[in-house]
Amino acid sequence: MKYLITGANGQLGREWVRYLSAKNADVTATTSEQLDITDSDSVTKVIDEVAPDVVINCAAYTKVDLAESDFEGALSVNRDGVKNLINACANRVIKLVHFSTDYVFSGSEEDRDVFPTGYPEDAKTDPINRYGYSKRAGEIELEKSDIDWLLIRVSWLCGSQGSNFVNTMLRLGKEHGVVSVVEDQTGSPSYTFDVVEKTDQLLKKDLNGIYHVSSSGEVSWADFAEAIFLEKGQQTTLNRITTAQFKTIAKRPSFSLLNKDKMIKKGLKALDWHEGLKRLMVEMKSS
């Protein structure tokens, strides 16, 4: 199996490179600077040269607040870039793996009542911010295509490297000794190592369509932060606040839990979020 990874400088892309390299896989990794997926000619050229069996797209516009004013920029990567990859894969019978987000759903309290175990893959999408809309637009491009595709939705993505909630909490806690975190938004983290491992298992089963990959259990951002400090043994004061007290440019969902039943029925076990955090902390020490 020959792989091409896009967005290899992001936290998920780095995890894929590490994972596949450890298996001595035939992998070509391109950073967003080396391959701009919004450039259709560049996409075609690289895919022609590499001739992969699978393209793993980790390139994404992830600046949630900036997307509110830079909507075209978000769409160019999260929709048009995906379309460019689809077109290149279609001409060469290549499988495309793409990653999306819980932000394609509304995250409303009403949905919490309807989906107490989390959003299933076929739940109605209804993004509440422009980032979520741009990611949903990329999903639609896949859904209407004729190629072989696998779409993995994740939530609260965290890895040992890159920018994410775990690293941010540890940094802010160390710098200031106190952090304020919202306690009325809940979900479950997706750890990059777990996402990569489970996506690889789905690939080996030659599955396609949409799958949700995140941890088992539900937690608030504030409780997650508390667990991070406890696991690290870092003395930090946690100030629990409401969403109304924490102003952001883009609206955030209050309910981000993804249902994993579809994945579980395929023989994959959801990772407990506490256990995932412990493993992540070990990896952070060695990275």
Judge whether 37 and 79 are in contact, CB under 8 Å.
Answer: no
CATH of the domain spanning 2-159+189-215+256-272, picked from 3.40.50.2020, 3.40.50.10540, 3.40.50.720, 1.10.510.10: 3.40.50.720
> Is the pLDDT confidence value at 287 over 80?
no
Give tens-digit pLDDT for 42-72. Answer: 999 999 999 999 999 999 999 999 999 999 9
Phi first, then psi: give them for residue 19, nearest 5 degrees.
-65, -50
**What's the Cα-to-Cα distance from 252 to each of 103, 141, 152, 257, 261, rounded to whole Å?**
8, 24, 21, 13, 25
The yes-or-no answer on residue 3 being catalytic is no
> Is the pLDDT confidence value at 18 over 80?
yes
What local confidence, expressed as pLDDT, does residue 285 receive?
A: 83
Per annotation, catalytic residue among 131, 133, 191, 211: 131
What local confidence, expressed as pLDDT, does residue 272 receive?
A: 98
What local confidence, expressed as pLDDT, does residue 97 receive?
A: 98
Instruction: Report DSSP state, residue 104.
Output: G
What local confidence, expressed as pLDDT, does residue 163 receive?
A: 86
What local confidence, expressed as pLDDT, does residue 91 receive?
A: 87
In sign, the C-alpha dihedral spanning 270, 261, 214, 109 is negative
Give tens-digit pLDDT for 144-184. Answer: 999 999 999 999 999 998 889 999 999 999 999 999 999 99
What local confidence, expressed as pLDDT, does residue 162 receive?
A: 83
In sign, the C-alpha dihedral spanning 36, 42, 44, 46 is negative
**What's the Cα-to-Cα distance from 69 to each of 25, 62, 143, 233, 243, rounded to whole Å?**
40, 13, 27, 39, 21
